Amino acid sequence: MIVSLDEMKQYLRVDFEDDDAIITALITGAEKLCADILRADSTDVLTQVENGRVAVMYTVAYFYEHREEADHHALTLTLRSLLFGSRKEAF
């Protein structure tokens, strides 16, 4: 993972362990989503991308805070803007 559970919990200001499984799953999902936005075959590319870490943290925070009413289209547009410089033209 590009972001550890402890780093993400600190970023989210979560100081309890009740949501550890949820946050871990969100990190995994965020990495996959960001890799898809980059049109990459693997999440490993995120470590080489300038805004990869920021994009993953933003995505996790967005999903965590908007669990009930997330606007995936708006999130995708924001991630495309964050990762635009590193995005492949095609798969």
Statement: the pTM of the whole predicted model exceeds 0.75: yes
DSSP character at residue 87? -
Rounded Cα gap, residues 64 and 81, in angstroms: 21
Q: For the segment 8-45, what is each residue's pLDDT rounded down to a tens digit?
A: 999 999 999 999 999 999 999 999 999 999 999 899 99
Rounded Cα gap, residues 57 and 8, in angstroms: 7
> Is 7 a residue whose pLDDT tops 90?
yes
Q: How many CA atoms lie within 13 A of 27 on its CB side?
A: 18
Q: Indicate whether 90 belongs to any domain.
A: no
CB 52 within 8 A of CB 7: no
Count of residues making up the chain: 91
* pLDDT value, residue 65: 94
> Is 78 a residue whose pLDDT tops 80?
yes
> Is 91 a residue whose pLDDT tops 90?
no
Mean pLDDT score of the chain: 92
Q: Indicate whether 91 belongs to any domain.
A: no
Q: Indicate whether 68 belongs to any domain.
A: yes
Q: Indicate whether 67 belongs to any domain.
A: yes
Total domains present in the chain: 1
Rounded Cα gap, residues 71 and 63, in angstroms: 9
Query: 77: pLDDT confidence band, cut at 50, 70 and 90?
Result: very high
| Structural domain range at position 53 | 5-85
Query: 90: pLDDT confidence band, cut at 50, 70 and 90?
Result: low
DSSP character at residue 3? S
